[in-house]
């Protein structure tokens, strides 16, 4: 609800001054009509600047996306050309997109037959205000497409210099056509002039001869953007509008005659007021729908998902299909964060093997298997012998290193599906194994005991002179639970420790000593 109110407030803030101006203008004479024309032209200038800024951003985004992908330059020219054509077809303002070698030779291009052409530019290059690696040239005829373009060049560098160059150009005729569509008042002439004052393209609408001459061009080049009047005391009065291109020093110059505006002022004002009201309702409806469809509903889902994660439900993942890449990236990051959080919460921070939480979850799963008539499972409890004495002599840093090495050794022997090595607590570990055959199980545990002993970690306070482990084990079958098996294996472990350590004991079988 708060977002909806903000949207309505923004619409009202943006459109209220325009409506007020239109209402007041309906009661003014010819001077007010001329003022409205000037205001309308200024609005059109702002729209054109937004159009140019957006088109520049599109072109630089194309270059940026190509630069981070190896699918263009590391392929054949034909495959590269097809990819560039698909990219260029997404933007109607793009004249062509090309990849050049460091020697400015076209490797591939969205223009057929351009491969092998040497690219060149006329005039001074202007560095992009968004990307230091992108340069923009003056409006000129492209040697690649043979059309009037506003070219950009982005150099992709490696440690040795330039790896390749991306040339992406705006179609000047398309930009002129789009700009003309943004005017609310009639025009008599429009032209694009480069930074040296040369008319590169123009269109005339109500005059047979061009009015845009040297004096008018010189005056236009002295201003970045704006409107000024010409011949206001004569019958052929007109306004001149100037828009400087954000990517180079070219200007868009347009002329708007005032004679017809004088005659149509009253009727046009009435129509403008009605149109503005319609635009208010349509824009409000579209913005409200867009805000709800693209933002609000997805924000609600993400908020609910975050609440569940905070509450401890880490099993759920969220899926949001949005045309906005930012939302999709946010959802992917959230799911990845939960995956890593779940992995971290089930892993012992010191040894890297499963922790007590992960072990409890695995034991519950095994209980379900046993209840379903599946199994049995072998459970072994393992304890590092005389570990307190080891810590007292060598310090906790050495003790932590020993725990890590023992954990690594145990991990090597629990790689089969359904098996687990976990740190039960302190220097005590738990093994869940699939092989329950008495002879093979005992042999397997003996290999584990010897693997720890073979680490050959010195332990002067042990009768064996090095770090050893004691084990106790049992088998959990249908009718029992894994926690009962843990208790029996733990009791067998204590029997191993009581009988001299560094040995294996079963809950119902004779012990196997290392001696």
Distances (CA, A) of 330 to 256, 306, 307: 48, 12, 16
Per-residue pLDDT band at 13 (split at 50, 70, 90): confident
Q: Rounded to the nearest 10 degrees, how much is the dihedral formed by the CA atoms of 348, 351, 353, 354?
A: -20
From CA 217, how far away is CA 225, in angstroms rounded?
13
Per-residue pLDDT band at 419 (split at 50, 70, 90): very high
Q: Give Cβ neighbours of residue 309 (< 8 Å, ≥ 6 apart).
A: 316, 338, 341
pLDDT digits 0-9 by tens, 243-281: 999 999 999 999 988 876 666 655 666 666 676 667 767
pLDDT digits 0-9 by tens, 427-443: 999 999 998 999 999 99
Whole-structure pTM value: 0.46
HSE toward the beta carbon, residue 71, CA cutoff 13 A: 8
Question: How many CB atoms within 10 Å of residue 232?
Answer: 10
CATH classification of 356-513 is 3.30.70.270, yes or no? yes
- The CATH number for 1-257, chosen from 3.80.30.20, 3.30.450.20, 3.40.50.1100, 2.60.40.10, is 3.30.450.20
What pLDDT is attached to residue 313? 59
pLDDT digits 0-9 by tens, 327-361: 666 666 665 665 555 556 788 889 989 999 889 99
User: Is the peptide bond preceding residue 418 cis, with omega within 30 degrees of 0?
Assistant: no
Distances (CA, A) of 196 to 36, 140, 221, 240, 366: 32, 12, 9, 19, 81
Give the Cα-Cα-Cα angle 450, 354, 473 (nearest 5 degrees).
45
Residue boundaries of the structural domains of the chain: 1-257, 266-342, 356-513
Q: Are 253 and 240 in contact (CB under 8 A)?
A: yes
From CA 444, how far away is CA 415, in angstroms rounded?
13
From CA 156, how far away is CA 67, in angstroms rounded?
7
């Amino acid at each position: 609800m708060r977002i909806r109110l903000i949207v309505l407030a923004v619409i009202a803030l943006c459109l209220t001054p325009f409506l007020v101006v239109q209402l007041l203008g309906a009661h003014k004479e010819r001077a007010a009509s001329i003022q409205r024309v000037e205001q309308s032209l200024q609005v059109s200038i702002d729209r054109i600047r937004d159009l140019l800024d957006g088109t520049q951003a599109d072109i630089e985004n194309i270059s940026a996306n190509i630069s981070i992908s190896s699918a263009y330059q590391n392929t054949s020219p034909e495959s590269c050309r097809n990819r560039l054509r698909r990219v260029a077809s997404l933007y109607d303002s793009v004249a062509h997109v090309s990849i050049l070698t460091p020697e400015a030779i076209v490797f591939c291009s969205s223009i057929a037959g351009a491969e092998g052409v040497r690219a060149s530019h006329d005039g001074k290059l202007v560095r992009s205000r968004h990307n230091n690696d992108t340069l923009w040239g003056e409006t000129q005829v492209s040697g690649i497409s043979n059309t009037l373009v506003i070219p950009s060049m982005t150099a992709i560098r490696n440690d040795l210099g330039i790896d390749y160059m991306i040339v992406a150009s705006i179609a000047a005729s398309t930009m002129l056509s789009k700009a003309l569509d943004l005017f609310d008042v009639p025009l008599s002439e429009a032209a694009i002039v480069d930074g040296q004052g040369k008319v590169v393209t123009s269109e005339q609408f109500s005059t047979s001869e061009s009015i845009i001459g040297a004096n008018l061009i010189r005056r236009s080049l002295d201003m970045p953007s704006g409107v000024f009047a010409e011949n206001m005391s004569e019958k052929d009065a007109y306004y001149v509008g100037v828009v400087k291109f954000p990517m180079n020093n070219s200007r868009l110059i347009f002329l708007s005659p005032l004679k017809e505006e004088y005659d149509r002022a009253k009727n046009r004002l009435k129509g403008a007021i009605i149109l503005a009201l319609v635009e208010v309702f349509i824009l409000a409806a579209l913005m409200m729908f867009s805000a709800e469809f693209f933002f609000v509903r997805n924000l609600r889902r993400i908020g609910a998902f975050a609440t569940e994660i905070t509450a401890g439900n880490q099993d759920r993942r969220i899926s949001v299909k949005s045309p906005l890449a930012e939302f999709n990236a946010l959802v992917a990051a959230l799911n990845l964060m939960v995956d890593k959080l779940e992995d971290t919460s089930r892993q012992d921070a010191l040894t890297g093997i499963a922790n007590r939480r992960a072990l409890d979850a695995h034991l519950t799963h095994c209980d379900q298997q046993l209840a379903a008539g599946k199994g049995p499972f072998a459970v072994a409890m393992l304890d590092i012998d005389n570990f307190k004495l080891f810590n007292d002599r060598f310090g906790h840093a050495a003790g932590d290193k020993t725990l890590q090495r023992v954990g690594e050794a145990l991990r090597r022997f629990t790689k089969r599906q359904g098996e687990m090595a976990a740190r039960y607590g302190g220097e005590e570990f738990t093994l869940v194994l699939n092989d329950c055959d008495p002879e093979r199980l005992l042999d397997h545990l003996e290999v584990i005991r010897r693997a720890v002993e073979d680490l050959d970690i010195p332990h002067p306070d042990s009768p064996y002179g090095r770090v050893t482990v004691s084990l106790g084990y049992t088998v959990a079958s249908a009718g029992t639970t894994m926690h009962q098996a843990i208790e029996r294996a733990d009791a067998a472990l204590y029997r191993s420790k009581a009988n001299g350590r560094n040995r294996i004991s079963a809950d119902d079988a004779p012990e196997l000593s290392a001696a």
